Structure formats: structure tokens, C-alpha cells
């Protein structure tokens, strides 16, 4: 990418910033002009401008993901990052992308909240000649509307959860018992929800004695996880297993279970399977509340940085790039493992 394009792009960023902050000729207080000064400084440095539309701040995983990307795409590393938190709303992501296009950023990084509905806005980015890199979640669009995607294999995480349960029930001598399961689902139509639900369902199909009592959307948040679990506990008194599609909803579920006077974890009545393996779930496993968490690696920053640098140097990148991941359960030395946990 030549310098001319970058300077032109950031000059427009400068103009658009005035527009967005309403900092025009009429209102010019010192506090409003300060950020513009900062932009001018960045322009001189000839940084790669990246607009990043993040899903929100709904979970510990998300916080670690944001932090990883922000700490990789820094001015020291050659980037000017414009970060937009969509607060879990797709319309906000549309607005952010359109602003990035207006600002003529060099790259758009998008973590799509849901998989559908992206054709128009990503076509607009393509028409503007701005490469789009998808991180974490996928978008159901033509492959030529994005450069590449980095993220986890959610379906295999779901399958791993099913296989773990199969093995666990066998060890408990309960392989042939009727097992009643409920699922706290993540945001419906998000890749993590779709993949984890599908992967678990594949293993479930091999077990006639596993009954899925109900699957309910709890939007990946702790508060919703608690609320939905409370209502499930009122409705069913025979839940054996909770599959929670992330750790934060599992924390909410533990609260609901304990408040209802019930118990969970390896020594309790209800087995809890979760996803993400954030640092806090190690505490919940160490205190015997949650049985297992399937890792999902949020540290996309370094890979993203490498991808953009490769593209800048005219290189090509793999279209699909999976992160490595494992799982952790209460049979492991969690105290030791937690010490080296990066998120
Ligand atoms: O599991 C959850 C977050 O898309 C993998 O989103 C991500 C999921 C993660 O809110 O905690």
C-alpha cells in the first residue's frame, strides 16, 4: 500500500472526525479540539489505519479478545486503531463499518455478532477497496467479500463437550441412565452458538437416553445466564446436566442453582459443562462448582498483526485460520494451570 493512499485516508479520518464529534466552526472549545490535534500527529507517522468493530463487552472472553487486539495494533507496531464497541447490536456494527469506509481506513476488522445480514455492508467495503478481516465469529457471505477469518472451531468444541460427557457418565456408572440436559445458548445465530450447539447435538444423536429438555438463549452474559437458569429450575426439577455455551452464563447458572438450594459441580447434583476457559472458571472449578470448560482462545491480536503486515508487504494469507485450543476439568492440576493462564 503506498504512502499516498494512507495520507489521503487519514486526511479523511481527520475530516470525518470533525463531523462525528460535531466539532465544527461554530463550537470550538479547547476540549473538543484536543483529539483532532492527536489525529494530526498520527497522520505524520504514516500508520496503517485499522477500524475494528467489536461485538461488545459481554464476557471475560470478549474483554481478553479486545485487549489482545488493542495491544497488538498499537502505534509502536505501526498501526492507528479505531475501536468501536457495538454493544451486541448488529445495527451498531453497520454504522461502524460505514464510518470506517467514510474515513478510508486501510483495513476493517470485524467480529460479526451474528452470521447473517452482512452482504450489503461488506459489499460497500469491497466497493471502497478496503480489505475486511473477520475475527472470532463468521459471516455467511460470498468468500470474495472478506480477505480471511481467524477464530475457533466451535463445532469441534461442542463435539468435545459431548464426548467428555459420554466419558464422564461412563466413569460414574451412569452411561445407561436417562440424562436430562438443558442448554444455555449464546446469542442466537452467532458462530459460537451455532457451532457449539451443532457439535454437541452430533454426540447427543448417538445417545437415546440423553434428553434435551430445553435450549434457551442467554446472550452470553452472566445476568441472562442466571435469569434463564432460574426459570429452568422452576420448570424442571430433574435437570442432570447444564451445557452453558460460555463461562459467564455458567457463573450465572451456578448462582441460580445455589440460590434455589441445589448443588452443582463434581460432588453436586447438576453437572456443568462450559466453554471459553477464562481465568475465573478455574476458580469455579477449584471450588467444585463447574465440572469442565472447553477452551476457546481469544488472543487474536498477534495473528491479526502478522496477517496485516503480510498483506501490506504484498503477500497472501490463508482464508481460514484456526486458533489452537484444549480443555480443562477438575481431574487436572488446575491451581498450577491457572498460574500461567493469559486470560
Ligand atoms: O465464547 C463468549 C463471547 O464468540 C467465541 O463470545 C466468542 C464467544 C465467547 O461472548 O464468551
Which of 54, 69, 136 best tests ligand 1's pocket when mutated (most atoms within 8 Å of CB)?
136
CA–centroid distance, residue 61 to ligand 1 (Å) = 6
| Per-residue pLDDT tens digits for 119-158 | 999 999 999 999 999 999 999 999 999 999 999 999 999 9
| Per-residue pLDDT tens digits for 57-79 | 999 999 999 999 999 999 999 99
Q: Is 296 in the pocket of ligand 1 (CB under 6 A)?
A: yes
Q: Going by CA atoms, what residue is nearest to atom 5 of ligand 1?
A: 192
Which atom of ligand 1 is found nearest the CA of 298? 5
- Please state whether 35 falls in left (phi above 0), alpha (psi between -120 and 50) or beta: alpha
Report the distance separating Cα 196 and Cα 204, nearest Å.
Answer: 12
Q: Is 218 in the pocket of ligand 1 (CB under 6 A)?
A: no
Report the distance separating Cα 118 and Cα 175, nearest Å.
Answer: 43
| Per-residue pLDDT tens digits for 208-242 | 999 999 999 999 999 999 999 999 999 999 999 99
Q: Is 294 in the pocket of ligand 1 (CB under 6 A)?
A: no
SS (HEC) of 206-250: CCCCEEEEEEEECCCCHHHHHHHHHHHHHHCCCCCEEEECCHHHH
Q: Is 6 in the pocket of ligand 1 (CB under 6 A)?
A: no
Question: Is 235 exposed, middle or buried, given 0-12, 13-18 or 19+ CB atoms closer than 10 A?
Answer: exposed
| Per-residue pLDDT tens digits for 193-214 | 999 999 999 999 999 999 999 9
Structural domains present in the chain: 6-152+297-312 (3.40.50.2300), 154-296+330-339 (3.40.50.2300)
Q: Is 196 in the pocket of ligand 1 (CB under 6 A)?
A: no
Q: Going by CA atoms, what residue is nearest to atom 4 of ligand 1?
A: 192
Q: What is the mean pLDDT of residues 273-286?
A: 96
Which atom of ligand 1 is found nearest the CA of 137? 4
Amino acid at each position: 500500500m503506498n504512502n499516498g493512499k494512507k495520507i489521503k485516508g487519514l486526511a479523511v479520518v481527520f475530516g470525518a472526525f470533525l463531523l462525528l464529534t460535531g466539532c465544527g466552526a461554530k463550537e470550538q472549545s479547547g476540549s473538543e479540539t484536543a483529539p483532532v490535534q492527536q489525529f494530526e500527529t498520527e497522520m505524520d507517522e504514516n500508520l496503517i489505519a485499522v477500524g475494528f468493530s467489536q461485538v461488545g463487552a459481554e464476557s471475560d472472553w470478549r474483554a481478553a479478545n479486545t485487549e489482545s487486539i488493542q495491544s497488538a495494533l498499537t502505534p509502536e507496531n505501526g498501526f492507528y486503531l479505531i475501536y468501536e464497541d457495538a454493544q451486541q447490536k448488529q445495527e451498531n456494527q453497520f454504522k461502524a463499518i460505514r464510518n470506517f469506509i467514510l474515513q478510508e481506513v486501510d483495513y476493517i476488522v470485524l467480529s460479526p455478532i451474528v452470521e447473517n445480514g452482512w452482504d450489503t455492508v461488506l459489499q460497500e467495503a469491497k466497493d471502497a477497496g478496503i480489505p475486511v478481516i473477520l475475527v472470532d465469529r463468521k459471516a455467511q457471505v460470498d468468500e470474495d467479500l472478506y480477505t480471511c477469518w481467524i477464530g475457533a472451531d466451535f463445532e469441534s468444541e461442542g463435539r468435545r463437550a459431548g464426548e467428555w460427557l459420554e466419558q464422564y457418565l461412563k466413569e460414574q456408572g451412569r452411561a445407561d441412565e436417562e440424562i436430562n440436559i438443558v442448554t444455555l445458548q449464546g446469542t442466537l445465530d452467532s458462530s459460537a452458538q451455532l457451532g457449539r450447539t451443532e457439535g454437541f447435538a452430533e454426540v447427543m444423536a448417538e445417545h437415546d437416553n440423553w434428553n434435551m429438555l430445553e435450549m434457551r438463549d442467554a446472550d452470553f452474559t452472566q445476568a441472562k445466564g442466571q435469569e434463564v437458569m432460574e426459570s429452568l429450575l422452576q420448570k424442571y426439577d430433574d435437570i442432570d446436566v447444564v451445557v452453558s455455551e460460555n463461562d459467564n452464563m455458567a457463573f450465572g447458572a451456578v448462582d441460580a442453582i445455589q440460590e434455589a438450594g441445589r448443588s452443582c459441580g463434581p460432588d453436586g447434583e447438576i453437572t456443568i459443562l462450559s466453554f471459553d476457559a477464562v481465568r475465573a472458571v478455574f476458580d469455579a472449578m477449584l471450588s467444585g462448582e463447574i465440572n469442565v470448560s472447553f477452551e476457546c482462545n481469544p488472543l487474536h491480536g498477534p495473528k491479526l498483526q502478522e496477517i496485516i503486515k503480510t498483506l501490506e508487504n504484498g503477500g497472501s494469507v490463508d482464508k481460514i485460520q484456526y486458533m489452537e485450543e484444549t480443555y480443562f476439568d477438575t481431574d487436572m492440576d488446575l491451581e498450577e494451570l491457572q498460574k500461567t493462564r493469559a486470560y
